[in-house]
Structure 1
Amino acid sequence: MLTILKKYSSMILLCLLLALPWTGKTLLFVKETGLSPSYALIYLSSLGFAAIVASLLLIKRKFIAIASASMLYTLASLLLYADVMYQRYYNAIIRIELLAQAGQLKDIRSSIISLISGWDFLYWIDVPLAAVVFFFFAKRKGPAQWKKPGLAILSLGLSILLGISLTAFKFTYSDQYKISLGGVIPAHMYDIGWNVYKKAYFKQALLQTKSIEEIRDTFKSRQEIQKGSPYFGKFKGKNIIMVQAESLNTFPIGLQVGGQEITPNLNRLINESHYYPNTYLQIGRGNTSDAEFVANNSLYPIGYIGAYKGYPNNQYLSLPDLLNQYGYSTSVTHGNTPEFWNRQTAYKNQGYGDFYYRGHPEIKDDEIIGLGISDKSIFHQMTAMYKQESKPFFNFIVSLTSHRPFILDEKYQYLTLPSGLEGTATGNYLQSIRYFDDALGEFIAELKEENIWDDSIFVVYGDHYGPLPTDEEELRNLLGVNFDLKTRFNIPLIIHHPGQTEPVVNGGTGSQMDIYPTLTALLGIDDQLVQLGTTLDANHKRITGFAFETTRYSFFSDEYDYMASHEGVFEKGICIDNRTGKKTDVQLCRAGYDSIYKDIRISTLLLENDYIGRIFDNGTVKAAEKPHK
């Protein structure tokens, strides 16, 4: 044993030293997640990775040995940093399935750049140093026999990583918790293995064990709540114009900076509409596209690559699909290319008749800002399109101009900001929201001028948060905004009824999932619908759950908020009494947890097995679709 240790002492020393910077980078990442690391296990996994890298240095040819070890170390560092960036935006680690979306990075590169921190060099400082160490080690050792010692060290490293991935994790653990326990590489190994297992067995298991009748009863009970709305059926046959506002949080609503309103037009709209200030996002990995999916389908956006990418060809009972059956012309408007986030396929299979996009023969690319056609241009063009639409119509617009990184040319910056805000991430965000607000004001004015306004239900809501958790301190210092999780998830929802002139504020807890049911209640539609949300206008206890963006099965409600544990154990979660704002007995959140758990399982079953069109045993449910222009 001593002879072996002496013979390979330099290799052992290399592994021990190489594990140190990798451990340091992992601990830095864990610190960003706010969790406590398992130091011993993380160093052990770092040793396993170091052994794999070091084994490559025993390849006979020096150049190939150095190049192979350097490349593997660099690629692993790239994976770790990709996880860091993904965590900052999506509160998760990246998945192997997301490689299929790599082509879209060029469209959002400015958004990615905005996530970079000045301290991020710490994630890369070891890479060139490692290459230098590899060079000197290979040079000093000279040519070595690869087969026996190399394979032995490689096997040892793989065994360590595989052992951690198989023993340290459970499928209930959050991404962050897995990283904090065993490091990046074992976490990814576990996820790949779980994915393979799930695809092979989990779908069939769900179909065999889940009660379809119970799912039907769930939807029927939600449908009964709709009839409790005081506005049920009062706006049958009215047009619907729905605007999904990019990056619009609730906190800018009513906010003034330097005596200037950030959202004067939204403020005026609220004063003559129904306003739901306690509405929350329910997005998944598709971000904006998942917000669209939730609002139009009233289901959780299950899938680690977003609903539009994961289930674009499913059969749906979405809002446009339903309205087609009621004689509506249906259309969707997005100022980017039709391929962006797979929208062309996804929109078609959700029942939209027409899709207006950048490059569409009837849409002018006359003003491009950021990701696509400017909000002002697209709103103006859609007003003209409405005059040609057969009545009634439904048009869903996805705004773009206020997309991260919120950098606008000076001519579009309508606010005169104090010097402390000028040029900051917060200041740029406020400028973007002010631009959207101005565009919306012009849009509403045109709708009134063309006599469309009073014959239409008009909806505006935010898709997801604008500032990131890393902006929390700046928001507090510059605006006095406490950008905690609940504030971050809080998005405005405004629904203007035809002919409405007086404001109605409904302070109950709501979500993007409730938009579709609220609209079908206004139209008086009493069909069997696939909706997990409920109308916001009925008087009943409300709850908003989360499958992504925070620990799964967390929820906000009128009475209690529940933050699920990273371990996925109900009893280890935190229950907050909203009357006192203090932590209370976790069992008081049990009913809400069970409800959210059930709804997420229902969404999983329906989406993974493409079962929406069969849930009521009526075969195909889709009406004849109009051809896409």
Structure 2
Amino acid sequence: MSKIKQIFMKQTDLFSVLIVLFWLKTYFAYLLEFDLGVTGWLQHLILLINPLGLGIILFSVALFSKNKKRRIGLLMGILLAATLLLYSNILYYREFTDFLTMNILVGSNNVSGALIASTLAMMRPWDLLYWIDVLVFAAVIYKVKKGQPALRNRLDISRKAVGTLVLGIIMLVGNLLLAEVSRPQLLTRTFDRNYIVKYMGINFFTGYDVYQTAKNSHIKASADESHLEEIVSYAKVNRAEPDPQYFGMAEDRNVIVIAMESIQQFLIDYELEDENGETHEVMPFVNSLFNSEESFSFSNFYHQTGQGKSSDAEILTETSLYGLPQGSAFQTLGSSNTFHATPGILKSKADYTSAAFHGNVGSFWNRSDTYRQFGYDYFFDAEYYDLSGDRSLEYGLKDKLFFRDSVEYLEQLPQPFYTKFLTVTHHFPYPLDDQNAGFPIAQTEDSTVNDFFATANYADEAIEEFFTYLKKTGLYENSIFVMYGDHYGISNMRNPHVAPLIGEDPEEWGEFQNAEMQQVPFILHIPGMDEGQVFDMPSGQIDVLPTLLHLLGIETDDYLFMGQDLLSPGHDSSVPLRNGRVITTDYTFINDRIYDNQTGEELSEQFSEEERLELIGERDQARMELNHSDRLMSMDLLRFYQPESLTQLEPLEYTYSNQMEVLQNHPGIQTSVIEKNRGESTLHLYETDAPEIREKIDYIYRPNRGLMERIQD
């Protein structure tokens, strides 16, 4: 004990021991408690060092105290606070597979109450390891002599304190640089809290979250109802009246949305030539839907996402608003903003049940929190799927397994329902393991481009298997299908490698061609309809929601949508992209340059000054849509906009943690597929060639458990 006491009397040794112990237990928690998806030596190195930089900075604050007793007290206080933060996140993660945020701690009594109520159940025997350093130091401090005098050499102490602080700053900056190498734009594209913790640590994430929360609160605090006036006027003028022949065409049908990860328009009807000169249709099933007489399809449809990527696509298609100019609206605003989104609207207007399905963790793009604000009744994320072994890739459960395994939840949903399925296998860098290989790869110098077509074909097969199942259960005929590509898959940097594959000259590839590559498929498939056609007018994801609502027979007069009904004769074919580029029927505007849509030729110098200014005015008019949307989002102005018809739109109050119990108590459960099938599962009707399913499995429904029980033959 005397030697330990001597360490406490010696400033340098005490500080070093505290840092080392805190570093070790934090790293231990990373490995044991959190599923951070660490791969490769660089990510493992970053995970190892990320507790040190900010940890040294925090603990160095105590070194500036001139009184030894106060200094030791400060060190212990910092250690206690940091340990409490770490352990609170451990407990929360065990229950919700997510990290604590300010919005959860301050703004949600439901979540905090659930955390407190289940603390004992979440504790584990080894949890003492997270507190043992605090207990030991507390015991030793108790033995330290009281009334330690002030330090005599204040200059020496100041130098050590400053030196330690500088060391911490250097390590933190180094950590940031390594994180930028492994994950570019980490802090501007904060699409998953897991990523910030993995690269920068728990303490950094908490500080960053506090900063973002404070910034958003300041912006929102400055807003009032007066900021809505111009936007309300714009929305009313911008609205396009529905076409009577289409309004209500899909009334009372189930809605099944499939967000097709990274699927671009050039894949539609595309045939890839292999090394032997034989051609292979990449997406034959999606092609059949796109060209069907039962579909409204759009060949000149653009994604309008920014840094929020897939989550921006969800904002666009389900709220008819844009994502933010920087970062992800889901991540930055999704936990607290007011949204008039498809799930809430359909529940309010037509008593729809809603559910989202995603084979990745709920924290990815902050979906768990944002879906509550959208009004989703259920969200089945990675917790509800088996992702073990070879069943998943980097971004989650493989698509064929994802659709199949979703059936045990889909068949229990009361009808009519609104469902969304987020595919992930066709995601950069487009890996596909050997057991799923077979489709030819492209023959270019870029391996990413080469693999792109094989994973697109895999996604197409997965969707076809899902449709086959839906037809067998009778769900197909009573549904409308909304299918869209969420964003580009091939980046501008790689587009020249694609050029020869689509009949273009890479030497003549430029910004106009890059803009065209932002086209993605959009299909509204309505079984039984025979009026389908392919529309070629410019359109975008912002238009999806008003189009869908009108097909379902729901008026949109009271909503502040930036988009318009694509089937309306009054639709304005001006499409602003998130980066400010604008596409119209005749022209593409890229910065101050104007291109002819037919020839791709730049026309800027061919117009008179008067003509050019008129066209630029049209471009700026289209961009106003972005400005109005940004103000609505950043100021959370929809909280001030509650017409009488919208008063029932409220965020969901529970956290998707006991969904099967809630689902079994749903008042409309008798309308579900499984109840109509007398309590027997329909999963045996699902046929897949997924090689990961190696044995035959029967499924028996247990109503008293609210779960599917797997019985192996």
Aligning the two structures, in what range does the TM-score lie when normalised by the shorter sequence? Answer: 0.5 to 0.7
SS at match of 1:499: coil
User: For residues 229-240 of structure 1, what are the structure 2 equivalents within 5 Å?
Assistant: 230-240=245-255
SS at match of 1:340: coil
SS at match of 1:274: strand
The equivalent of 1:557 in structure 2 is 584
Q: Distance in 1 between matches of 2:311 and 2:527?
A: 28
**Alignment partner for residue 508 of structure 1, among 519, 537, 543?**
537
The equivalent of 2:568 in structure 1 is 538
CA gap of 1:200–1:295, structure 2 versus 1, over 3 A, is closer
Q: Distance in 2 between matches of 1:333 and 1:200?
A: 31
User: For residues 150-299 of structure 1, what are the structure 2 equivalents within 5 Å?
Assistant: 207=224, 210=227, 212-223=228-239, 225-228=240-243, 230-258=245-273, 259-272=279-292, 273-299=295-321
- Deviation of the 1:500 alpha carbon: 2.9
- Deviation of the 1:546 alpha carbon: 2.4
Q: Distance in 2 between matches of 1:439 and 1:513?
A: 27
The equivalent of 1:601 in structure 2 is 627
1:524-560 Cα shifts (integer Å, max 9, x gaps)? 211412211111112233111123xx3xx32112132
CA gap of 1:98–1:342, structure 2 versus 1, over 3 A, is closer
1:452 aligns with 2:481: no
- The letter of the residue matching 1:536 is L
1:373 aligns with 2:404: no
Range that drifts further, 234-243 or 297-306 = 297-306
User: For residues 14-53 of structure 1, what are the structure 2 equivalents within 5 Å?
Assistant: none
8 Å Cα contact 2:220/2:636 also seen in 1: no
1:385 aligns with 2:409: yes
8 Å Cα contact 1:376/1:439 also seen in 2: yes
CA gap of 1:199–1:378, structure 2 versus 1, over 3 A, is closer
Q: Distance in 2 between matches of 1:459 and 1:451?
A: 18
8 Å Cα contact 2:431/2:455 also seen in 1: yes
- The letter of the residue matching 2:237 is S
- Deviation of the 1:625 alpha carbon: 4.6
Q: Distance in 1 between matches of 2:283 and 2:594?
A: 34
Range that drifts further, 287-296 or 61-70 = 61-70
Range that drifts further, 477-486 or 500-509 = 477-486
The equivalent of 1:16 in structure 2 is none
- Deviation of the 1:452 alpha carbon: 1.1
The equivalent of 1:113 in structure 2 is none
8 Å Cα contact 1:414/1:435 also seen in 2: no
8 Å Cα contact 1:95/1:304 also seen in 2: no
Q: Distance in 2 between matches of 1:589 and 1:81?
A: 45
* C-alpha RMSD over aligned residues: 3.6
- Deviation of the 1:201 alpha carbon: 7.3
- Deviation of the 1:578 alpha carbon: 2.9
The equivalent of 1:133 in structure 2 is none
Q: Distance in 2 between matches of 1:507 and 1:479?
A: 19
1:471 aligns with 2:476: no
CA gap of 1:319–1:560, structure 2 versus 1, over 3 A, is same
Identity across matched positions, percent: 25
* Aligned length, in residue pairs: 463
8 Å Cα contact 2:192/2:331 also seen in 1: no
The equivalent of 1:588 in structure 2 is 614
- The letter of the residue matching 1:556 is I
- Deviation of the 1:304 alpha carbon: 2.6
**Alignment partner for residue 594 of structure 2, among 557, 572, 575?**
575
Q: Distance in 2 between matches of 1:417 and 1:239?
A: 37
Is there any run of 5+ residues in structure 2 with no aligned partner, and where?
Answer: 1-155, 200-210, 274-278, 660-713
Is there any run of 5+ residues in structure 1 with no aligned partner, and where?
Answer: 1-58, 88-92, 108-193, 565-572
1:517 aligns with 2:546: yes
Q: Which has the larger radius of gyration?
A: 2
- The letter of the residue matching 2:379 is F
CA gap of 1:73–1:322, structure 2 versus 1, over 3 A, is same
- The letter of the residue matching 2:378 is D
Q: Distance in 2 between matches of 1:196 and 1:376?
A: 38
The equivalent of 1:153 in structure 2 is none
8 Å Cα contact 1:562/1:589 also seen in 2: no
Q: Distance in 1 between matches of 2:470 and 2:214?
A: 53
Q: Distance in 1 between matches of 2:496 and 2:553?
A: 46
8 Å Cα contact 1:575/1:588 also seen in 2: no
Q: Distance in 2 between matches of 1:61 and 1:202?
A: 39
1:88-146 Cα shifts (integer Å, max 9, x gaps)? xxxxx664784984636869xxxxxxxxxxxxxxxxxxxxxxxxxxxxxxxxxxxxxxx
The equivalent of 1:492 in structure 2 is 521
CA gap of 1:262–1:63, structure 2 versus 1, over 3 A, is farther
8 Å Cα contact 2:356/2:379 also seen in 1: yes
- Deviation of the 1:85 alpha carbon: 7.8
The equivalent of 2:77 in structure 1 is none
8 Å Cα contact 1:233/1:523 also seen in 2: yes
CA gap of 1:347–1:60, structure 2 versus 1, over 3 A, is closer
- The letter of the residue matching 2:409 is M
- Deviation of the 1:269 alpha carbon: 1.1
- The letter of the residue matching 2:315 is F
CA gap of 1:409–1:226, structure 2 versus 1, over 3 A, is farther
CA gap of 1:624–1:425, structure 2 versus 1, over 3 A, is closer
Scaled by the length of structure 2, what TM-score is found? 0.58
8 Å Cα contact 1:98/1:305 also seen in 2: yes
- Deviation of the 1:382 alpha carbon: 3.2
8 Å Cα contact 1:226/1:517 also seen in 2: no
CA gap of 1:66–1:612, structure 2 versus 1, over 3 A, is closer
8 Å Cα contact 1:216/1:616 also seen in 2: no
- Deviation of the 1:78 alpha carbon: 7.3
CA gap of 1:328–1:82, structure 2 versus 1, over 3 A, is same
1:193-233 Cα shifts (integer Å, max 9, x gaps)? x99998697656665874x233222223344x142363111
